[in-house]
């Protein structure tokens, strides 16, 4: 069994620094680099294009775009262009999008399951050089086509958490991106992916099971844990009641974190978020501790581990640790 190891980079800060981190990721032997797509950050497609010109092996993923901010036809054109630019290394990640973020720009996240399905169907047909007439619940096209010929297929991954979205991913996607740091939640997610896969006579082995986790590594455990707290706070604030109950996190704590985030009180957040919260919602600690936690994720069926923000108190140092210690250790263990 082979395991892919990737990193998620936020397109914030100076562009050359983001590209530099991506290049370092490739040189450290990582398999994939993912750039997050939010309207309020630097444009993920532009960042990925710049990265594509400075790398040659690492897979490049957008993690993830959504069907609402831009039309699927635009996304198909962007995907085809980027696939050409990077020589066939691009992965298109699609999800329902963050409800709060979409609402902040006046977009209602309606019929998410249907929107994601239609989006993927439209993109696939356009990338297949078809002239598309489509009469969906969300999207309608008439004789639409791309003036771009794509010779290399673009794999489509679905970012999914809820059971029905996971099942949809199992039914139609090339891969699934599960945001979690808890092996049991990942195990349950994979069961739902299998349910979807059975609908189209697919095998779970044919689907790339990717897990994106809040990650922080440092030789000093306390520094690694402290570095993860702010990201953990955002994850905790967005937890559904069902997931919070599974993780044993009470609603009072969630409400306190949400209030502190609204006030922008970083010191207050650091006091509320405990080591236990970090343990439940992130993989954080020394290289050895991180390897142990990643192995638990692999044992439940993860095939592609995506190490997300913050990576560590020092991103460059963290990437060097990931490449020299964690990737090497996983190769030896698997």
Last residue of a domain, one of 105, 138, 159: 159
Q: How far is CA 104 from the centre of its chain?
A: 21
- Regions of the chain short of the pLDDT cut 70: 1
Residues 153 and 195 in one domain: no
Residue 258 CA: distances (Å) to CA of 1, 101, 141, 282, 309: 41, 15, 40, 18, 19
How confident is the model at residue 91, as a pLDDT? 98
209 in the same domain as 155: no
pLDDT tens across 215-230, in order? 999 999 999 999 999 9
**What are the DSSP calls for 111-158, one per residue?**
SHHHHHHHHHHHHHHHHTT--EEEE-SS-EEEEE--S----S---EEE
- Tell me the C-alpha distance between 130 and 146, whole Å: 8
- Bin 111: left if φ > 0, else alpha if -120 < ψ < 50, else beta: left
| 195 and 126 in a common domain | no
pTM: 0.95
DSSP secondary structure letter of residue 205: G
Pair 232, 319 in one domain? yes
Verify that 194 and 82 share a domain, yes or no: no
Residue owning tokens 């997050």: 36
Within a domain: 179: no
Do 151 and 213 lie in one domain? The reply is: no
Q: Do 200 and 141 lie in a common domain?
A: no
Number of domains in the chain: 2
Render pLDDT for 140-196 as a digit per residue (tens, 0 to 9): 999 999 999 878 899 999 999 999 999 999 999 999 999 999 999 999 999 999 999
Query: Between the CA atoms of 291, 197, 93 and 147, what dihedral angle is there, to the nearest 10 degrees?
Result: 150
Residues 6 or more apart whose Cβ sits within 8 Å of residue 230: 266, 269, 270, 273, 310
Would you say residue 174 lies in a domain?
Answer: no
- What sign does the CA torsion over 9, 318, 283, 195 have? positive
Domain limits for position 22:
1-159
pLDDT at 109: 94
Residues 93 and 215 in one domain: no
CA 315/CA 270 separation, integer angstroms: 20
Kindly report the CATH number assigned to the domain that includes residue 61. 3.20.20.30
Q: Are 8 and 153 in a shared domain?
A: yes
Helices (H), 160-263: 163-172, 183-199, 221-237, 241-247, 251-263
**42: in domain:** yes
Strands 283-285 and 208-217: parallel
Residue 183: inside a domain, yes or no?
A: no
**Assigned domain for 17 exists:** yes
């Amino acid at each position: 069994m082979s395991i892919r190891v990737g990193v998620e980079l936020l397109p914030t800060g100076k562009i050359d620094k983001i590209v530099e981190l991506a290049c370092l990721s490739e040189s450290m032997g990582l398999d994939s680099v993912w750039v997050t797509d939010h309207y309020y950050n630097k444009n993920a497609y532009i960042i990925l294009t710049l990265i594509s010109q400075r790398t040659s092996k690492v897979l490049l993923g957008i993690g993830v775009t959504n069907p609402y901010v831009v039309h699927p036809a635009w996304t198909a054109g962007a995907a085809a262009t980027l696939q050409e630019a990077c020589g066939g290394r691009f992965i298109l990640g699609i999800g329902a999008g963050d409800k709060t973020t979409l609402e902040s720009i006046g977009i209602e996240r309606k019929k998410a399951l249907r929107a994601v399905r239609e989006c993927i169907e439209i993109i696939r047909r356009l990338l297949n050089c078809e002239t598309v007439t489509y009469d969906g619940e969300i999207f309608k096209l008439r004789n639409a086509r791309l003036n771009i010929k794509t010779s290399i297929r673009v794999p489509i991954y679905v970012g999914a958490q809820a059971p029905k979205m996971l099942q949809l991913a199992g039914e139609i996607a090339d891969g699934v991106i599960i945001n979690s740091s808890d092996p049991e939640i990942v195990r349950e997610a994979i069961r739902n992916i299998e349910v979807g896969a059975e609908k189209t006579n697919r095998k779970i082995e044919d689907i790339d099971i990717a897990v994106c986790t809040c990650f922080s590594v440092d030789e000093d455990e306390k520094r690694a844990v402290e570095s993860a707290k702010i990201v953990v706070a955002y994850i905790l604030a967005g937890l559904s009641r069902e997931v919070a109950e599974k993780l044993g996190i009470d609603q009072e704590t969630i409400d306190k974190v949400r209030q502190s985030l609204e006030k922008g009180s970083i010191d207050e957040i650091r006091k509320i978020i405990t080591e236990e919260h970090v343990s439940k919602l992130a993989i954080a600690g020394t290289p050895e501790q991180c390897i142990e936690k990643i192995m638990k994720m692999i044992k439940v069926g993860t095939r592609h581990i995506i190490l997300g923000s913050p990576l560590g108190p020092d991103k460059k140092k963290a990437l060097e640790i990931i490449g020299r210690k964690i990737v090497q250790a996983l190769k030896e263990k698997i």
